[in-house]
Amino acid sequence: MKENIHCYGILYLFICANLFFVSPIHAQDKKDTVTSKVHKIQEVIVKARRAPNKVASTAPVQTLSREDLDKLAVQDMADAVRRFAGANVKDYGGIGGLKTVSVRNMGAAHTAVSYDGVTVSNCQAGQIDLGRFSLDNVEMLSLSMGQSEDMLQSARQYASAALLNIETEKPHFENGKNSLIRFQAKGGSFGYLSPALRWWQKAGKSLSISMDANYMRADGNYPFTLRNGKYVTAEKRYNSAIYSYQGELNLFKTFKDNSSLEIKNYYFYSDRELPGAVTLYNPVANEKLWDENYFIQALYKKDFSDKFKTQFQAKYNYAWNKYQEKNQKYVGGVYEQKHRQNECYLSATGLYSMNDKFNFSLAQDGYINTLWSDMPECPFPTRYTIQSALNARYKDNLLTANASLVNTFITENVKQGEKQNDFNRLVPSISLSIKPFHEETLFLRLMYKSTMRVPTFNDLYYFQLGNRNLKTEKANEYNLGVTWSSNIPNILDYISITIDGYYNNVKDKIVAFPTTYAWKMVNYGKVRITGADFTLATAASLSDKVQIVLSGAYTYQKAIDVTDKNTKNYKDQLPYTPRNSGNVSLVVNTPYANLGYSIVGVGKRYYMSQNIDDNMIDGYTEHNISISKEFKLPKYKIRLQGEIINLLNKQYDVIKYYPMPGRSWRITGTITL
């Protein structure tokens, strides 16, 4: 309880100090040098086509815009992320199943998730469930491999092996309006229903407020075919219902000195059944999971001059979950686990531009994590983390070079038992982008980055499984790529191609390993990952009103276990890692309607360490199609969209024994006032 009080106090003082610091500082109104009067210019909204994936960046960056998400029948956040080259999404089936992402097979704990600039955390399990994020208010989704281009990011983000950035839509007003109300309703197969409400309000010349709220429910009891040897039967998925609520209340303030403050309040609650694995003919599943998450975060930016810019972040995060299983083998017929996490987080970053070519930044983060659990022998740990990142960039017309040094210091306290030893480590990274020809938008890029994955609370302290002597998992990333973009007059509006080869080496990998009496977390694994990512984006205008947009991504990946030469799985492909995967999307924009068609393909995988036929999971392709139309009326807009997901009714598993839904449909109606 004392740690929580400290968290509240630190957060309160941080926000108050920022407000006190920025409020009295007002830049003088710049006057017209001719008339000595101040003129108000009418607001202008500029719209343009989405730029393809960044070709000038020193490390691979892929993006999906709001327009992409709307037109490609993207089901949820996990479905969107799996369209990025190099992203491996684990989906435990259905709407309510857990969904995590591993980038280039580094593991979910190596991928940081940023929500409007501030990192989302889970110190208990180390991986973020993408299923709890709604796509309804997402403006841009991006995935950075290795080093991100943003020099004002936090030290925590600099330290990650990959960064998934979720950027929500901020209030913007057209035609002189001061408010916007949008109501959206989705309905579809398997009892799916999801109404959502958005409200934007301008509360002054420099203050706006936004609210987003949505509710989702689904039965999730979809049919599937069960194959057991020569027997094939029609079955139905049970215990798959989910009910969830999500809401956000945001404040956006711009001060007279052009500094800005964003405050976000976020709440999520879900009550879901866990369908469990389908083994033989056993359809029984009696597990449930409740999740609750609340956080408040503040992001403040200020430019003191053209040379010096700053960014401050503060966040308090509360997460609670309860797991329940009904089974007669337990006393009273019910088994329950409850866990509660708290985090207080502060970050400050300063950016100094020496001249047009040299930039330097220093980021300093500090955060406190606590865990409470009703499991036996829980030590009730408290973790204190300090991270520092020193960064430098050189950029001219032909060369961009980034270099970083990130230091992480961790110390822990426990109320009972032994704690983990203190940890301190300094890791470097460097990335280059070279433009060999002035006339061509052709770039060569090279990246090296050293990262790490600190053991989670579950790794260290989970009952009978945790190991308090675990070392930190270490990884080295290497990337070599070539990118090109251009346009072909009268044929293509633009074309963008990126090709990246990579090699990752992971040491002291944390795995669950069988011991004499039980499984135990140990530093046992060594993994080598080689692969290549290919992306293509292009568009062509058939007339002034008809445009075709084509995009695609392909990944080849060889991720092998090189831990022990004497084991049967030595140099075998890691579980759930396809050698080949990719996707293709086609969008046709016309005055009558917009059509979208996409294909996602994944090659064969193995669900166990040994690559034998008995452990193989077949590959699959999933086809999705959508049609949408927007009607603009004098006082409001109406948008209708229909989607067919898994058009060919292909049955497949992402995780073995967790069958995914077959063909389904969804209809969305949106009215904006």
Which of 50-64, 366-380, 651-665 has the weakest average pLDDT? 50-64
Of the ranges 235-239, 384-388, 390-394, 514-518, which one carries the lowest mean pLDDT score? 514-518
Q: DSSP labels for 126-155?
A: S---GGGS-STTEEEEEEEESS-S-TTS-H
pLDDT in tens, 329-372: 888 899 999 999 999 999 999 999 999 999 999 999 999 999 99
Do the domain assignments include residue 5?
no
Which two structure tokens, joined as six digits, stand for 565? 């030469």
d(CA 150, CA 391): 11
The yes-or-no verdict on residue 34 having pLDDT over 60 is: no
In the block, tokens 């062509």 appear at: 540
What are 120's two structure tokens? 């989302």
What backbone phi and psi angles, to 5 degrees, belong to 133? -100, 130
Decide if 16 is inside a domain.
Answer: no
- 9 occurs within a structural domain: no
- What is the DSSP secondary-structure string of 11-38? HHHHHHHHHHHHTT--PPPPPPTTT---
Residue 514's pLDDT is: 62
**pLDDT of 621-643, one tens digit each?**
999 999 999 999 988 999 999 99
Which CATH number does the domain housing residue 449 bear?
A: 2.40.170.20
Beta-strand relationship, 138-145 and 61-65: antiparallel
Q: What is the three-class DSSP state of 333?
A: helix
Distances (CA, A) of 422 to 351, 523, 613: 30, 17, 44
pLDDT at 6 over 70: no
- The pLDDT of 493-505, averaged and rounded, is 94
Domain count, the chain: 1
Distance between the two ends of the chain, CA-based, in angstroms?
Answer: 46
Classify residue 385: in a domain, yes or no. yes
- Asked if residue 546 belongs to a domain, the reply is yes
For residue 33, is it within any domain? no
Average pLDDT, the chain: 86
> Is residue 12, in this structure, part of any structural domain at all?
no
Confirm if 154 and 391 have CB atoms less than 8 A apart: no
User: Which tokens go with 469?
Assistant: 């002597």
Asked if the structure places residue 267 within a domain, the reply is yes
Q: What single letter denotes the amino acid at residue 450?
A: S
Query: What pLDDT digit, counting tens, does each position of 253-270 carry?
Result: 999 998 999 999 999 999
Q: Quickly tell me which residue has 């005055």 as its tokens.
A: 591
CA angle 75, 124, 298 (to 5 degrees): 70
* pLDDT tens, residue by residue, 517-527: 556 788 878 88
Structural domain containing residue 486: 48-672
**pLDDT class of 37 with cuts at 50, 70, 90:** very low
